[in-house]
Structure 1
């Protein structure tokens, strides 16, 4: 058999999937390793998808998506970010991951550097490597509240640096960028002629702190920094988390002006267009009743509080989650420098699956990500089985 290219073979295993698939094979295991919302999809969303099938609305759509769906995404983005975007700059994509691949395929050439957060969602680095680029991790550390530092980013720049990946609210950390930091990150990108890809998959879920989109400070935004001569922020959105449509695969890229024709060509060469059925279901989610979102937000906040109560009782340190639906906890007292191996043993011995911190980069060693989106009783029971520092 002919060999695959080195840059493909070297793409690492996704450790989240590794532990989760192992857990699915263990009867009665408690799976806290994957972000799968626990609520049924809203009835009006399901009805819209089935109505599209009933009328045989199963044909191709434009590369960028159906006009009403693009307009609905633009309207939501305007409400949440304050950025009034033209629907013509919205591309409907097959979930945030395909949107990430589309954006990076358009911006990155082989040998280019992309700054990715560490800890950060694993497919950031995986996708860059798959395209022949070089993912350059920028460390997020406890001493700085796991927030990016401009001076650290500055020290990682090379003549090949092309893109800065940002993620707030963060998966896996649950951290949220404040307004001042977000503004400085956009200023940094403009000063160094970098693109920004801003992953805002969890924009609907923050706790006692607002979500701030980098697009606010980009050229054309309502609070554009003086350095912003032309727009360079691409925003990634998804309906997977906001409306529980993880398997429907529908999201959007909000792009700077002037990229429409280029992105349309790249979209044609990857997936052509998103399923019409998914788009009609997504349109119903975006424009219909929003009780799902408010109910989910209340549940995730309640689960966060229940989980931190257990960790407090056990004496386990964690990062205060301000957004998304994950809790980042320090198990270094038990993992002994091999959190990946420890999570496998913990699943085998105690029946609980947690995502190892190293799934998100080397800076995650000793930490685990806990998904807060499932049943409260399973969450509390699973965390109650964790070893406390005094007993490890």
Structure 2
């Protein structure tokens, strides 16, 4: 296992059915003014809003609402949230929703008291936080991003067609997160399966890097096998508690920094997918599924031993009487079959991408250097064309 590292995760998790009962004891640690952040209103239809609001009122909190967080939170929305924090002297931001809502809450937490434009400082220049940070808590209603236990915050600028994620330090991690798998039951199937693939992509982009014998890779393989098993069950029976609870737990561990320890990491699928999202406003997990097969087939020759291992250890490919290349290719074939079984989007045209957008998407794609092949712009364009 290569590389030295320090590992700490400050987020306190409450996991399981009925875990919202722990919210009042967390609220007691913060001041009176709470910014309640949520999305398009689904939490009002399924009753989660009423439960959270009751806990806030019973705890004597003054609640300021910040509703309407979109699936790809915009910089304009970020500015609105920052103004609400400042005007109302907010002591805690409580995010109730999925990854976009949690991401947005963290972006507001670092941006509200930033002395300059936070888009410029944190998303274009990627600078560290040097101002007051408003604490964040999360009540999770959709799984996929792992945002409930990490410092990531992705924001989209529609004017410049850029969607950028900044991974902040552990002082930006949520102070607490409440994970009740039952809260995910009413999610529409399209969003549910998109979340499943977002989880898979997070794991793969940390797995497909490095050549050493790394414990983190063994953990990743176990998470992948569990995800594949449980997602197939949940796709048939969305209210299967065992499957949904397993998936919720996998999503958290897929991106809470644990399986990246001692490794380089890739993230090119996310970079391409996020650029597509900036142009189309498509569901994040579907932008990843639409480009993944083309990307992984492109880099397979450069990381053949790991793709061979992936095929055998994750997809159960029998290596007998087959070449290393044949085994690796069969692993990707099984992955593709699984993706189609879930009903994931498999080409970018289905997301609204046109030939005219390809150059702009390629220009908006950040090139990462942690994977088996550092792409150039022409390769990004080729992968996009292969994904159409």
- TM-score between the two structures when normalised by the length of structure 1: 0.32
Structure scoring higher RCO (CA < 8 A, sep ≥ 6) equals 1
- TM-score between the two structures when normalised by the length of structure 2: 0.32
